[in-house]
Structures are given as C-alpha cells and as structure tokens.
Structure 1
C-alpha cells in the first residue's frame, strides 16, 4: 500500500511537470520565436545572441558556444554588426571587448569566421594601431566598441554566441532542441548519454552548457535507468579513454572521503550510495581518485578526475524555459 502511494505521488508529480512544460512551450511559441531563455532573438538576423561576460580564452569560448548549440558570433554583415552592437549595449556592462568567431589558427594571417566568411569581406574597420600581430602570436579577432583587433587566442575576454534559426528547431518534451535528451517517466527528468568521452570537469561543463548537470543518482531505480542507458550505448562509445565507467554528478568535495552530489548533498542523503566492492579506494591511489563514476553494473566508483570517460547528463524539462512565462 505504501509502495502504491509512492508510485501515485511520483506519477502525479511527473504529470504536473509535463503539463507545466506544455503550457510553457505554448506561450513561448505564441509570443515569440524561442530557442532558450538566456538567448535574445533579433529578427534582422533571424537568430539569437547571448553575451557571456565571464572572460575565457578563445578555444573555451568556441567550445561553450558549441555546447550550447550555437557558434561564436562574427560581424559578417551589417545586420549582424547592428544586432551585436544592440545586444552588447543592452547588458549595461563596462566590458566593451569580446571575442568573435574570427580566427587565423588554421593558417597564419588568413582570418575567417567559423562559418568560413573571410574577414576581408566583413564591413568592419580595424581599431587604431591594429592589426599588429604582437610577438607574431595574434590569431584571434576581438570586437572592441564597433571595431576589431587581433589578439593572442590565449588572452581572456568575454564572448558572444549566435544561433541561427533553422527549420528543424523544434522544442522536444525535454524543453530543448537537442533531440538526444529523452524524458524518463520514472523521474520526470531527461537524460542524454554522451558517447564521446571527456574529463570529469569537461563533462560537467558540457552538461551545464546544455542546460543540465552531470546525472545525480537519487534512488536504486534511477541507477537502473542509468545502467540501461549505459548498456544501450556501450558499443557506440568512441575509442579513447576508459569506457568501463561513466562520469556522474558526485565528487569527493574535500578529497578526504566527503562524497557529495554536485548539488551539495551527501550521497546517502541524496538516496544512493551503493559502492562497488572494494570502492572507494582513492586512499590507495596517487594522485587520488576524487571524482564520481558508475560501473556498468550501476555500482559507484571513485575515479580520476582528469581521465577521459563517457558520461550522462540530466536536465529538468523546464531548465531552458523562462521562469517568467
């Protein structure tokens, strides 16, 4: 009887979340063209822009835009320049220099946008004293208050991402255009198996950029669901790295056996702490194994944070929707 009530409560919560999602999607589509809540739509470029204010290097800027489903924005024509200028000024920030998608890393001195548009065809002007190719090591282009300059790609700057609208952009029941996320009736959340392995930190970055987080196991049943995803995708895991475990959302927070989820709960409180026999064994390893992983049998493992492995992302169905809708 208690089990029956628990199942009913779970089903009711799931149905309520699906209803909220459907209503949110309806209003999103009714009021405006929609991609994700943190991007702003500009009709003159038929796409969306997002300004990331935390400075990073060019490669990480490129990667983060890519993981969000977009590209580094480039001033390829007058409409894009106008939209980029409006979007930057709308943020009321004192930072006025940010990366574009224009680079010359493939061959020295040949600047192209990520889409393949030559810098020479862009209606832009160089800032005073630019380009100067300082130390023969400036292969990326920044936007600086309406002008461009060449910089070292390792320098840290904010950056702007651009998503062009396409015909196949349809929100799934998971509240994303990413069709690899699949809704689970068990938890009411969505899951995506990443067959291309990354380090634990990069896996965390990937999930966050997609609007989710490294999967957190809250019950034995959820562990079995992740196990099933693992088994289905195991033969398709890309070569390289360790495919016998997957990264998940737990970590040894102080490197002394304080295992918690990435949301701060001790794993026992979160609902699942079933270690594989002999695990955790990080105390016997140098350097220690302080990042969480799951074996194919669904049991937990402590794993090297800098080792490459596949991983599962989890997201709520409303994580990319506007809370104000």
Structure 2
C-alpha cells in the first residue's frame, strides 16, 4: 500500500471510529455550536475532522469564544491540553494565525500565552491555564466550532462602504476581491490576505471562476489562490479545509507534470487551475465578505436569528 493510500485509510478509520461523545451544543453567547472531541488526533486530523462536520477547529478569537473554550477544557476529566485552530502551519516562521486568519496577538488571551518558539512546534494547545506551542504531530483532543450563519440580514448586498477601497464587490458572488500585483510566495500571500482580514481566494464553482476572470485581471502569468497540496500526495484542500471535490476543479492540461517540492494552487489567464512550488513568487488574489467580523462588531440580530441545528 502506498503512503498516500495508507494515510487515506487511516483518516477514514479516524472519521469512522470517532463516535460522538457529545452533540454540538448551541451557545448564544458565542453565536454558534461547539463540540469537544475526546478522541485524540494530530492537528491535521483535527482540522480535517472539523471541516467534515462543516465546522472549524476552534480558536479563542473573541472574549466569548475564549471563555467558552476555557470552560470546556476545565470541565473535562482528561488531564491534557486541547488543540486550538491557531497555528503557524501555513507559514515557515512564528506567525501564529487562526484558521480564519486572525493573529494570535489580536486574541484576548494574552494572560494565557506561554513562551512561543516555533522551533518547538507549529501548532498550539490550550489547557485550563496556558496556551503552549506543541508539535503538530502530537495527538490531542480538540474542539470544533460551527458559527451561526446570517440569514436574517436586510442589508442590500450591492451597497458596500469599503474599509479597504482596493477590495471590489462582485455582486454575482457576494464576495470582495483584491488583486495583488506584487509577487509573493504562497505563504507570504496567505499572510498578506490575513493581515487585511481576508484569505487567498477560494473558487467555489465555475460561476465564480468566470466572475473572477471578468474582473479584467492580467491574462498572462499565474496568480496564487487558496488551495494547496496538503501532504505532497495530491490531497488538495482549500485554506478552509475544503476538498476540491466541493470546489471549482477545472485543471489546465498538463497540470500533473512532475514538480518537486511543496505545491500550491494557481489560476491562469484562462481561468484554469494549475500548480507551482509554494516558494515560487506569483501574483495573488485575496477575498473577503462585504462585512468582516474581524473589523466590525457582530450585530445583535445575528445572535437572535433562528437556524436549523445539527
């Protein structure tokens, strides 16, 4: 059995064996549902497991989320720390960001942070008192978080007061895009988007690919987008942990040509996918919603809206 096949089989066993110790529990204070997984996993396995449940590996990005996580960790009988969704896994340095792209320094947990040294590991764990650096291959329990979606907005999506006037709203997709003409490595592009409260563009379908192509971006060359070969075995995932099976996956002919090294996704001038080494430098495209929760306080009605539960 190949390494890729063995890894896939192990992951399937993980997903199948992880029986529900508790259901997702709604908490109005955090505007969503959370679930503590008691079966231990590596950080990558936890990341993928949460995504398989339409959730995110939870991070203490707000006071309410931090309090909820501390309560969950303190209530467990397991004398161990839990993974959080904040890591330096996407960047070869000590820039610790949540999956949503929020820097650790912007989270209300400064009193919990122990010494941070990326040489000790790229991932972070949280116990009752501390947030510490751990190797991403450690096997720890973890918490998934599913945010309540805003289906109760009366805002006209075509009206947009930009907090960065270089982001342009595309009405057909409901997202705002910003093209960066200065070439960066994929990792630096990822951080640049995160610093703007955005993420490398994730192309959901052919309609969005056509909309991006119609923005009038340069038709020559390539630009980095938010997908990467997760473990160098053509297991392509978005920066949100989504499989390409649920996203736009029109590849350029010849994209499977041998390229060594860590691979990251690009979009060419014909709106086709291709890949290059992540340490190559390319143009890139950032994406974010018309209103960013990172920059604007949540509206009261978001916490009161009614949604279907798990």
- Which bracket does the TM-score occupy, shorter chain normalised? 0.3 to 0.5
**Structure 1 length as normaliser, TM-score?**
0.43
Structure (1 or 2) with the larger CA radius of gyration: 1
**Structure 2 length as normaliser, TM-score?**
0.45
The structure with the greater share of residues assigned to helix is: 1
